[in-house]
A and B are shown apart, each in its own frame.
Chain A
Amino acid sequence: DAKTTQPNSMESNEEEPVHLPCNHSTISGTDYIHWYRQLPSQGPEYVIHGLTSNVNNRMASLAIAEDRKSSTLILHRATLRDAAVYYCIGNAGNMLTFGGGTRLMVKP
C-alpha cells in the first residue's frame, strides 16, 4: 500500500466547497486511491475511489494529479453532516491500511 499524508484537521463553513488534500508520492502504477469517511462512533463509509482520471459521484469528486503523487477530495457544498474524519488510502488488491486521516469540522 502507498503511504499517504493528510493534514490532521481542516475547517470549513457550511454551504461552501471543501478541498481535502492527500499526498501519496510513493504510489505505484496499480494502486487505486480510495477515500472513506468516518463519523463519530460509526464504521467508515465509502466515499469514492479512482486510478488516474478524475471521478465524480453523488457524494464527492476526486481530482487526481497527473503524476498521481497527490489527489484532492472535493465536497462541493459542505453540510454539518459532512463533519467526519476523512481517510485517503492508496492500495491495490484487497487490503486497506488506514492512516490518521483529516478531521473535517464544518461551521454553521
Chain B
Amino acid sequence: GAVVSQHPSWVICKSGTSVKIECRSLDFQATTMFWYRQFPKQSLMLMATSNEGSKATYEQGVEKDKFLINHASLTLSTLTVTSAHPEDSSFYICSARIHRGLLTDTQYFGPGTRLTVL
C-alpha cells in the first residue's frame, strides 16, 4: 500500500521560534501533496495544496508568509511554521495524492505531527 510518513511526530517549541515538519511519500511519487490542520474535537481543515516544483496554493485565511511550504521533490514536502505562537498549536497532517488517471485520485495521509507552542 501507499505509505506517507511525517517527521517529527510531535514537537514542543517556545513562542517565536520556527518549526519545520517533513512529509514523505515512501513508496510512490506524489506530484501533489496537501497540508491539513486539525484542532481538538474538530475535523480536518485544508491549509494548502503543494505541487512539486511550483508555489503552493493556500486556502482562504491561511497566511502564506507564516506557513511556508516547499515541495522540492516528488517524495518530499515541508511545512515550516514561522514565529510560532500558542494559537498555532494543533495537529498538522499531510497527504499525498496518487494519480490514477481517473476523474478522482486517492489521497494517503501521514500519521500527523502534534505541535505545541509554549
Residue ranges of A at the interface with B (Cβ–Cβ < 8 Å): 30, 32, 34, 36, 41-46, 49, 51, 87, 91-101
Report the nearest A residue to B107, measured CB to CB: A96
**A49 neighbours in B (Cβ, 8 Å):** 104, 106
Q: A43-B112, A44-B109 given as contacts; is B43 within 8 A of A92 (CB)?
A: no
- Determine if A43 and B93 form an interchain contact, defined as CB atoms under 8 angstroms apart: yes
Check B114–A41 contact: CB distance below 8 A.
yes
* Contact-size category for B: 20 to 34
Contact (Cβ within 8 A) A43 B104: no
The 3 closest A-B pairs by CB, nearest first: A43-B109, A32-B104, A98-B44
Docked CA distance A42–B113 (Å):
9
Of the candidates B32, B97, B112, which one forms a contact with A42 in the assembled complex, judged by CB atoms under 8 Å apart? B112
Contact present for B43 and A101 (CB under 8 Å): yes
Q: Chain A: interface secondary structure? A: loop
Task: List 21 A-B residue pairs with CB atoms under 8 Å apart, sorted by A's residue number.
Answer: A30-B103, A34-B104, A34-B106, A42-B111, A42-B112, A43-B93, A43-B94, A44-B95, A46-B108, A51-B104, A91-B104, A92-B104, A94-B32, A94-B107, A95-B46, A95-B49, A96-B46, A96-B95, A97-B46, A98-B44, A98-B45
Q: How far is the CA of A46 from the CA of B75 in the complex (A)?
A: 19
